[in-house]
Structure 1
Amino acid sequence: MSRQNILSGSPWEDKMGYCRAVRIGNIVEVAGTVAIVDGDKVKADDAYAQTHNIIERIAKVLEDAGASLSDVVRTRIFTTKIAHFDEIARAHGAFFGDIKPTTGIYEISALVSPDYLVEIEFTAVLA
């Protein structure tokens, strides 16, 4: 089976030695992804906007891998504040309400920047 690495252009990819996603056969694994916090549309205190931004961006990554959000079978959501559950769930449900991948949500002590409230990993399987 061939391996396809999907790069996003992030400077961290070379620094850390990773890529945004890897496709091998019909499986696509997407690295933990945080929002692009711009202070306007996506704010550091808005878990809904961060979650929405992450999923929108990953839809493009999946497309680059020959997949789509409808191929997602699992998401893993990490948050620095579980009290944001309702906001995160609402954004996740807006994309996955009909798809219904398995998921987990985990409170963690910190992400790489205090501006990030949410990080999500994705697994997709193409039929």
Structure 2
Amino acid sequence: MSRKLISSGSEFERKIGYSRAVVDGDYVFVSGTTGFNYATNSISDDVAEQADQCFVNIAQALEEAGSSIARIVRVTYILPNRDDFQPCWPVLQKWLGEVRPAATVFEARLLDDAMKIEVQVTARI
């Protein structure tokens, strides 16, 4: 299988030089994805709503890649404030409760203070 690059249309992909997702072989590597809603050009102030939007964005990238949320094998969560992680748990349960991928969480600043969570995943085709 050849390498396939998937774009969300974000201006940052072009400016920085990355793709929303890369299909390589039997895997899809989805870049760190924030809760930015591309349809409305907005981001919620609520961390749980941002987490949900992260997975909406990820699901779209995976679908374009020929995969799905159910095929996720690895997830990484990045939050500027680790205390914001627990309020996201119901959202994470909704999206990944049956999938149960390997997971890592860490605290780090994100590029924009409005971003409260960033999610990166690896999935199989």
The 2-side partners of 1:17 and 1:117 are apart by 23
1:100-125 deviation per Cα after TM superposition (whole angstroms, max 9, x unaligned): 011111111x2111101100101001
| 1:73-112 pair list within 5 angstroms | 73-108=73-108, 110-112=109-111
Q: Distance in 2 between matches of 1:103 and 1:60?
A: 20
CA RMSD of aligned residues (A): 1.7
Identity over aligned residues, as a percent? 31
Q: Would you say the 8 A contact 2:34–2:115 is kept in 1?
A: yes
Q: Secondary structure at the match of 1:115?
A: coil
Consecutive unaligned residues of structure 2, counting only runs of 5 or more, are: none
Query: Which segments of 5 or more consecutive residues in structure 1 lack a partner in the other structure?
Result: none
Task: Give the TM-score of the pair, scaled to structure 2.
Answer: 0.92
Q: TM-score, normalised by structure 1?
A: 0.90
Q: Is the 2:35–2:44 Cα contact (8 Å) retained in structure 1?
A: no
Query: For residue 22 of structure 1, what is the amino acid of its counterpart?
Result: V
* Count of paired positions: 123
* Runs of 4 or more above 3 Å deviation: 37-40
Letter in 1 for 2:75: T
1:55 aligns with 2:55: yes
Q: How does 1:1-127 map to 2 (within 5 A)?
A: 1-36=1-36, 42-44=43-45, 46-108=46-108, 110-126=109-125
> How far apart are residue 43 of structure 1 and its match?
2.2
